[in-house]
Structure 1
Amino acid sequence: MDVDVFVAAHRAEWDRLEALLRRRRRSLAGAEADELVSLYQRTATHLSLLQSTAPDPALVARLTTLVARARSAVVGSRRATWRDAARFVTAGFPAACYRTRHWWVPTALVFTLVVAGLGWWIAHDAEVRSAIGAPADLREMTRPGGAYESYYSSSHAAAFSAQVWTNNAQVAGMSLAFGAFLGVPVLLLLFQNAVNVAVGLGLMSSAGRLDVFLGLILPHGLLELTAVFVAAGVGMRLGWTVIDPGPTTRAAALAREGRVAIGMAIGLAGVLLVSGAIEGFVTPSGLPTWARIACGVAAELAFLTYVFVLGRRAVAAGENGDLARADQADQAPVAA
């Protein structure tokens, strides 16, 4: 392709498109708007030809900018607003949590049973405890003021809250991301966390200090574990989508569930921020045990109400936790 000849043949069209774009701030007549669309389409074709046959850097840069401006004028652009954030908080996130309840509620029940079973086994079997650690070390961990109690006041409350929040957000993020691998890593991650909780439960129970352990873990653990269960449920749902994408193509189904998972990661980060604050400021506080547990129960009930009242209402209104329809890419129809 002779670039000079090509430029001479189409320069007038590009100049006219640029002139229409400059005038766009004022109203265009109907014929001018049609001309703008037509010139945008032709200039995009010119750019494609140049990139594939005669990539002149300066000319390609000019046409790339021109096509981008024209596309914005023709298609329009949309910026995120506070209304989008409000929609996410009041509808999108609770709807996504509610829609995946059939995954994370059973997950929570199975996790609780596994923790209770392993904790009982550890508490009543001396051989298992000896496999975990030397008797002297275990006594040091479970004594008044030992490792289990001092952990929650090991650093400044604000720093400790930030550390806990970061760690828990990482666990939730891993649960969401690992879902793409058919959900198997999510189950392994959950089992690892169940074992960690069960070890503390069993050791403190064997030392006759179960009440102290529950007073330390329940204030923040209820909301924290619920967030992890929700993340795991969403991750396993994402993994199931790989196996059964439903009536759409697998790519479209994974894209939809992936967008939902990203939104869930943002929402759960907020939930874990609350649980981290409780763990940093309430759990090690001098409040009576009943008061600390009451704070945790209140936070858990508030979240469940948020999901099962607001979320159910949003799902009934057609919300599914995905982007608004206007922000989604169009999908070509496929045969059933």
Structure 2
Amino acid sequence: MRTDEKPDQREGRWSELARPYMTRTRHWLFGGTVAVYAAIVLGVLTTSWLVTLDWQIMLFRPYKQWPDIHAFLDYFVVLGQRGPTAVAVAAWLLWRCWRQRNLHPLLVLGVALLMLNVTVGAAKIGMGRLGPHYATTIGTNEMGLGGDIFPSGHTANAVVTWGVLAYLATTPLRRRILSVVAALGALGVGMTTVYLGTHWVSDVLLGWAAGVLVMLALPWCEPGMAWAEARLMAVFWRLRDRLGGAPRPVPVPASPAGVTAGAGRRAVAEDGVLVREPAVAGGRQARAPEAWPHHPARPHTARSERTPVTPSGSRRPPHADRAPRTAPVTTTVRGRSQGS
């Protein structure tokens, strides 16, 4: 899956989120999932082999065949309940919003849950299928009888709620790993509902497809979420300014173009905010006392005040075979001086 990693420059903050966008692969996956969704619905409406499989597993009564794991699966199925899972994931994403100084994680969760409730809720009410515990006639599809079991809300909710964490992952590798974990966990929650006798197998398969469709459609909502986030953050800063809060961070361009030597060219990142180091006279940067390196202050003297150092004696190193050089002997021959 390709990602678009770009900095978020709102209020000087820089985000490392790799936000997905609709690629050709996503389009193909979306179209294939729609086809699977339609095939499952058609198979149930026409009372195909899928309905026969539903009844076979229901009459097998797995909760009576393996009663030892019943207590554990009663707790495990909570991973698909909308209330507890939404609260847990929202708490984690709220912390991420505070760290990244933006509302994107919470907006993704809110939009995903909104699409899930609208699409899955409409399908449940529209098809009105009864669950295994309320089935009336063996071998029928139990459609249009006022039920709300098709597709499985537990399965679709597990796909979306835990899939949001994969969607918001900051690296492609983490996103793939979390996507697989969320998909398998959601399928496990769905099979648990089949074990407990609250859903048909076809309910679980359709719920899994419904959740995947929501996750694949999320990139289409990114422009709307960016629009909403910009306006919500503007309202937040306006209220904070009125209440006399701390001043908002000033954005600093990453490029040092246009910065003079005396203005301090070095910019450092502190908790995601670009902060330029102050400058002092003469173009030298002012370092904080705790800044690296830790060197004690030393006095400096001007060049004219320093004591001159001159070499004394010969600069040539001594040698054992070399005779020491002596001063030349001067003799006078016929009125002229001649060195010997």
TM-score by length of 2: 0.25
Q: Structure 1 or 2: larger strand share?
A: 2
TM-score by length of 1: 0.25
Highest Rg: 1 or 2? 2
